[in-house]
């Protein structure tokens, strides 16, 4: 044999369902035959993805296989960067630069016409315009054609979108100017690269085979490359998943949503007859020809579905064979779907099967990965993880929240507890030690925003923590005062703060470690490189830009030794490889296929006028991926009846397939039933796997019985209601000493509102002397007290609340003034039960004295005052305060009869509730209270949980400790002696 490489030319097809890379390699070896080893090295192969290139390399040079020289494997997306083409300029425009240029124009438009869109949406709009620009470039349409669109017959909202479309017309010359300086649009550069390569081939045709494999030719530029290859003396196209069972007449009726529609465009462009396209490797058979014929029939376009009836007899004969290794898994929820898939992958790994999960649903893929972790199986995941979900991405987002505004306690706590904060080793240990004290003293239960002066004052009390606090302030306070600034300044300040917080007080910087850290560092460097295109940004603009960039960038999962037989593939990667078992998951409409989003800029007529493809084209590509993957040797078709948002709808392809199989007579009904039965068994096994071997008995309703010495010797009047309704809460708080942990940065909750309203009413009561303008006194009290409220929105809302109920409050105050005069507000008091060694304490909101010498006690309620029935059962506060007053228990107030008890509502209704003193036997109520305390002083009395909860919805601070949910309120209490 001579050293010449055999000629390879024409169109070929890979079998549907076959391992594309394996068949491509096998066919190439067979076609080269007895050619010398260097013949393979002279072959040039163009593929779509790096994973496909790796897979082909593995098939040509498998471990333990014969040594071979490898062909030149090239990637179609990298063509624009080929230095051999000597294109000027050499690199496409940086995508971020283009985004910033467009966003600057969008912001200018919105500033001139604020009604068009919110200012914060500038980057989202710029991204949508960039996507449209990409479509125009892929179609070879000049953006200037937008200006020629006639919108006279279109709806009014298209006229509004025209203002944004004109940005593309305006921006295109600017982008071309960028091209003149060395950065054209990516699609323009790719098209130029294809044209340059085709011209070089035409001038000097290569003397070696050139093959384009695995591409559906969905892009016009790729079709141009494919045509240029086909024109070569030794050029070949190897099409993935071309359907040989599609009748000739059907090819002319394919819509854009059919699986063969993209390949049909290639056939039209090359004037090829589908029936004449030979298999690339004649000796490589598809895993199941009957299944291929069945799926091909199921996916026929709507105008020819009458062929179902024509071909039904032939398909019925082989339906059992076609579906013998097909499983239909329908899970109740997405979680159970992931569990069942993980279980099937685990059994495949145990049996030595090559298995692949194919899904566009990344959430489902992550759930499956998490479920596999229980068996320490790490799948080889082709997709990355959004940078924003990695530790460095989360850390950068947390730091960015402090730009242009005071640091908030909750966010600051999350930032400082982040694993990348505070350094490494002993440095981080000391950081966490200071942080625990900082959290307790400053961050929890105080104002939501942090004042660095107060932090430094706190730190000054301890010399050991002062450098730590000063370091925090030095890192974050510059961000707080950063306003509208250049992107360079924004990114520089952001990076400086992130590095300082990550390094802590030590020398090591963990933030930029590993692949995710390196990608995060490149992101900030990228921002600095293109900052001149952005113009001045506000902190809100910067955060929006950062969020989109973090979401766009993918980081390859850093898995240690992924399992060699378990893979998770995206749709594009699955075109050129298969496995013994393929699981198609997430088969719900909206996921697979993804529904085309409504075009915000162009109607169908307008898209057609601009020669843009219909939105359904993407559905056709997804359909092709479904047809290809579902033809594997063994297939599981999986979906869930519900996802996180509610009920789901089965994928249209799955519905078609089920309807066809079920309609193929008794044979089809039996086949469908067996597919569903296999899925039900798989789901049952996965559910059983999570079922514990032994059922743990549910906890009973706790009723601890502590010794007498541990029982409380004092309670406040407000705690008496808790003692009656939920004694367990008293046990947890006053015996165990447990307190609810305040949230980081106290929020404007009902308790905070009640405290503020109480202070207002206390100041008002003391200020409103005779002759005082009551309305002015109320307004002044509200203004003074609310000035101390740290939440601006709540401050305005509560001030409005006081203004709304002012007339009612003032009318009630006039009655109270006629009844008596205030003796004191927030008056402390106590009364003992000497025989029990117990003290009842109180803080009365307001006590007045009448001219007759009797006392009136008032209690403010920021919510609805209790009813008389509630007072008789639970709310004993005012009657107990009355007994305390009559016994002289209040500070600086002489004992006197109580003639009036009243709850004053401070809610919207501002209702009051007066207790009828004839019904309030103060002496009897105190005696009843004494009996209650005596009962709980008895060592034989337990503290049951939720003894008399008024409402089922009532929630206590200690319900989780009592393990509520394992028992019901009607269950008997489980009394237990505790030490």
Who's near 442: CB < 8 A, 6+ residues apart?
409, 450, 454, 455, 458
How many CB atoms neighbour CB 727 within 10 A? 22
Q: Are 73 and 53 in contact (CB under 8 A)?
A: yes
Average pLDDT over the chain, rounded to whole? 89
Residue 180 has pLDDT above 60, yes or no: no
Secondary structure of residue 72 in the 3-state scheme: strand
Q: Which two tokens stand for residue 809?
A: 């409050």
Angle (CA) 240-246-247 rounded to 5° is: 145
* Cβ contacts of 458-466, under 8 Å, gap ≥ 24: 464/434, 465/434, 465/437, 465/438
Query: 213: Cβ–Cβ under 8 A, 6 or more apart, which residues?
Result: 14, 20, 24, 45, 46, 47, 237, 238, 240, 576
Cβ burial of 163 (10 Å; 0-12, 13-18, 19+) is middle
Q: pTM here? A: 0.81
Range 837-851 average pLDDT: 95
Instruction: Quote the pLDDT of residue 13.
Output: 94
Instruction: Examine the pLDDT at 662 and tell me if it is beyond 50.
Output: yes
* pLDDT for 1: 39
Please report, for residues 701, 728, 961, 970, the alpha-carbon distance to residue 947 in angstroms, rounded to integers and kept in the order given: 10, 8, 15, 9
Q: How far apart are CA 362 and CA 368, in angstroms?
A: 10
> Are the C-beta atoms of 345 and 528 separated by less than 8 Å?
no
Average pLDDT over residues 247-272: 89
Q: What are phi and psi of 47, to 5 degrees?
A: -125, 170
At 428, give phi and psi (nearest 5°): -70, -35
Q: Which is more confident, 905 or 183?
A: 905
Q: What is the CA radius of gyration of the chain?
A: 38
The conformation of residue 277, written as its DSSP 8-state character, comes to P
- pLDDT-derived band at 209 (thresholds 50, 70, 90) equals very high
**Chain mean position to CA 362:** 11
Cα of first residue to Cα of last residue in the chain, in angstroms, is 95
Q: Please check the confidence at residue 944 and state whether its pLDDT lies above 90.
A: yes
Q: For residue 637, what is the enclosing H or E element?
A: strand 634-643
pLDDT band at 269 (very low <50, low <70, confident <90, very high): confident
Give the three-state DSSP class for 483: coil
Cα separation, 636 vs 638, whole angstroms: 6
Range 107-134 average pLDDT: 83
Cα–Cα distance measured from residue 770 to residue 411, given in angstroms and rounded to the nearest whole number:
50
Compute the distance between CA of residue 763 and CA of residue 756 in angstroms, rounded to an integer: 11
160: CB partners within 8 A, 6+ apart = 116
SS3 category, 211? strand
Task: Report the length, in residues, of the chain.
Answer: 979
Query: Could you tell me the pLDDT band of residue 160, with boundaries at 50, 70 and 90?
Result: low
C-alpha 671/C-alpha 683 separation (Å) is 19
CA neighbor of 838 nearest in space, from 931, 920, 925? 931
Quote the strand ranges of 36-140, DSSP E: 44-47, 72-75
d(CA 718, CA 877): 6
Query: What would the pLDDT profile of 768-813 be if each residue is shown by its tens digit?
Result: 665 678 888 898 899 999 988 888 888 898 899 899 999 999 999 8
**Looking only at Cα atoms, what is the longest distance across the chain?**
128
* CA atoms within 13 A of residue 128's CA, in its CB half-sphere: 16
Q: For residue 924, what are its two tokens?
A: 């009897």
98-132 exposure pattern, b = at least 16 Cβ within 10 A, e = fewer: bbbbbbbbbbebbeeeeebbeeeebbebbbbbbeb
Strand partners, 330: 639
Dig out the tokens for 416 from the structure.
């400082």
Per-residue pLDDT reduced to its tens digit, 699-714: 999 999 999 999 999 9
Contact indicator for 217, 263 with CB cutoff of 8 Å: yes
Q: Which residue has the higher pLDDT, 74 or 133?
A: 74
Helix, strand, coil percentages, rounded to 5, for the chain: 50, 15, 35
Looking at residue 153, what is its pLDDT?
59
Residue 838's DSSP bridge partners are 833
Q: CA-CA distance, 462 to 525, in Å (whole number)?
A: 39
Cα–Cα distance between 110 and 495 in angstroms, integer? 30
Residue in the block written with tokens 């300044």: 489
Return the sign of the alpha-carbon dihedral for residues 500, 505, 507, 513: negative
Here the tokens at position 598 are: 């409504």
SS (H, E, C) 752-776: HHHHHHHHHHHHHHHHCCCCCCHHH
Predicted local distance difference test score (pLDDT) of residue 447 = 77
Decide which of 572 and 427 is more confident.
427
Helix (H) or strand (E) holding 279: strand 278-279
């Amino acid at each position: 044999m001579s050293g010449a490489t055999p000629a390879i030319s024409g169109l070929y097809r890979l079998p549907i369902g076959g391992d594309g890379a394996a068949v491509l390699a096998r066919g190439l070896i067979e076609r080269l035959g007895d050619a010398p080893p260097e013949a393979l090295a002279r072959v040039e192969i163009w593929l779509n993805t790096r994973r496909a290139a790796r897979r082909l390399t593995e098939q040509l040079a498998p471990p333990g296989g014969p040594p071979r020289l490898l062909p030149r494997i090239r990637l179609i997306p990298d063509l624009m960067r080929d230095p051999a083409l000597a294109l000027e300029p050499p690199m496409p425009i940086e995508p971020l630069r283009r985004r910033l240029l467009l966003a600057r124009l969008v912001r200018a438009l919105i500033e001139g016409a604020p009604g068009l869109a919110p200012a914060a949406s500038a980057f989202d709009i710029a991204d949508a315009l960039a996507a449209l620009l990409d479509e125009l470039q892929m179609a070879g349409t000049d953006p200037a054609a937008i200006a020629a669109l006639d919108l006279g017959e279109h709806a009014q909202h298209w006229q509004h979108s025209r203002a944004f479309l004109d940005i593309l017309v305006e921006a295109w010359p600017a982008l071309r100017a960028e091209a003149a300086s060395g950065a054209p649009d990516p699609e323009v550069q790719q098209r130029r690269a294809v044209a340059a390569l085709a011209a070089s081939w035409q001038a000097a045709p290569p003397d070696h085979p050139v093959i384009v494999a695995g591409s559906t030719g969905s892009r016009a530029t790729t079709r141009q490359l494919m045509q240029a290859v086909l024109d070569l003396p030794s050029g070949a196209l190897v099409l993935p998943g071309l359907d040989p069972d599609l009748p000739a007449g059907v090819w002319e009726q394919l819509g854009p949503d059919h699986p063969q529609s993209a390949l049909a465009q290639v056939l039209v462009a090359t004037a090829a007859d589908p029936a004449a396209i030979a298999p690339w490797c004649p000796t490589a058979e598809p895993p199941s020809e009957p299944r291929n014929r069945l799926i091909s029939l199921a996916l026929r376009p709507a105008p020819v579905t009458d062929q179902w009836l024509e071909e039904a007899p032939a398909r019925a004969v082989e339906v059992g064979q076609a579906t013998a290794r097909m499983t239909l898994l329908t899970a109740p929820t997405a979680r159970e779907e992931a569990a069942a898939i993980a279980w099937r992958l685990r059994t495949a790994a145990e049996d030595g099967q090559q298995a692949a999960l194919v899904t566009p649903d990344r959430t489902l893929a992550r759930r499956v990965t998490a479920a596999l972790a229980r068996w320490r199986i790490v799948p080889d995941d082709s997709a990355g993880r959004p940078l924003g979900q990695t530790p460095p991405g989360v850390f950068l987002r947390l730091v960015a929240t402090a730009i242009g505004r005071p640091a908030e306690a909750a966010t600051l706590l999350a930032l400082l507890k982040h694993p990348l904060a505070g350094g490494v080793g002993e440095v981080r240990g000391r950081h966490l030690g200071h942080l625990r004290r900082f959290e307790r003293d400053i961050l929890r239960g105080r104002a939501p925003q942090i004042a660095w002066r107060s932090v430094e004052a706190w730190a000054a009390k301890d010399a050991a923590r002062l450098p730590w606090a000063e370091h925090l302030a030095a890192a974050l306070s510059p961000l707080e005062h950063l306003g509208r600034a250049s992107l360079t300044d924004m990114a520089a300040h952001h990076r400086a703060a992130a590095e300082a917080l990550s390094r802590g007080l030590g020398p090591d910087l963990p933030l930029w470690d590993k692949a995710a850290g390196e990608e995060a560092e490149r992101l900030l460097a990228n921002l600095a490189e293109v900052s001149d295109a952005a113009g001045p940004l506000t902190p809100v603009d910067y955060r929006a830009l950062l969020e989109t960039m973090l979401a766009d960038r993918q980081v390859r999962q850093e898995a240690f030794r992924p399992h060699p037989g378990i893979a998770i593939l995206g749709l594009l990667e699955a075109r050129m490889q298969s496995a013994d078992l393929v699981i198609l998951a997430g088969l719900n409409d909206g996921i697979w296929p993804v529904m085309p989003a409504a075009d915000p800029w162009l109607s169908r007529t307008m898209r057609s006028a601009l020669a843009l493809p219909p939105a359904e084209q993407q559905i056709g590509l997804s359909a092709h991926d479904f047809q290809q993957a579902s033809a594997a040797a063994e297939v599981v078709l999986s979906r869930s009846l519900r996802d996180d948002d509610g009920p789901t709808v089965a994928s249209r392809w799955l519905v078609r397939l089920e309807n066809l199989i079920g309609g193929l007579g008794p044979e089809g009904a039996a086949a469908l039933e067996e597919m569903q039965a296999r899925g039900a068994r798989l789901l049952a096994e996965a559910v059983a796997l999570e079922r514990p071997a032994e059922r743990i008995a549910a906890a009973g309703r706790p009723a601890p019985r502590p010794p007498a010495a541990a029982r409380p010797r004092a309670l406040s009047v407000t705690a008496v209601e808790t003692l009656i309704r939920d004694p367990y809460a008293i046990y947890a708080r006053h015996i165990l000493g447990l307190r609810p942990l305040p949230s980081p940065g106290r929020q404007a909750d009902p308790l905070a509102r009640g405290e503020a309203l109480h202070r207002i009413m206390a100041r008002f009561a003391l200020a409103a002397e005779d002759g005082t303008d009551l309305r002015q006194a109320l307004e002044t009290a509200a203004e003074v007290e609310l000035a101390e409220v740290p939440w601006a929105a709540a401050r305005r809302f509560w001030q409005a609340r006081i203004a709304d109920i002012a007339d009612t409050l003032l009318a009630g105050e006039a009655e109270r003034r006629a009844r008596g005069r205030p003796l004191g507000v927030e008056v402390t008091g106590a009364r003992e039960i000497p025989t029990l060694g117990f003290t009842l304490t109180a803080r009365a909101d307001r006590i007045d004295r009448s001219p007759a010498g009797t006392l009136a006690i008032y209690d403010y309620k920021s919510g609805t005052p209790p009813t008389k029935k509630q007072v008789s059962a639970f709310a004993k506060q005012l009657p107990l305060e009355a007994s305390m007053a009559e016994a002289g228990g209040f500070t600086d107030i002489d004992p006197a009869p109580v003639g009036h008890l009243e709850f004053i509502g401070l809610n919207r209704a501002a209702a009051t509730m007066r207790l009828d003193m004839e019904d309030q036997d103060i002496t009897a109520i105190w005696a009843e209270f004494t009996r209650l305390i005596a009962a709980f002083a008895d060592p034989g009395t337990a503290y049951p949980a939720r003894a008399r909860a008024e409402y089922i919805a009532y929630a206590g601070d200690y319900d989780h400790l009592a393990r509520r949910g394992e028992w019901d309120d009607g269950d008997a209490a489980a009394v237990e002696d505790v030490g």
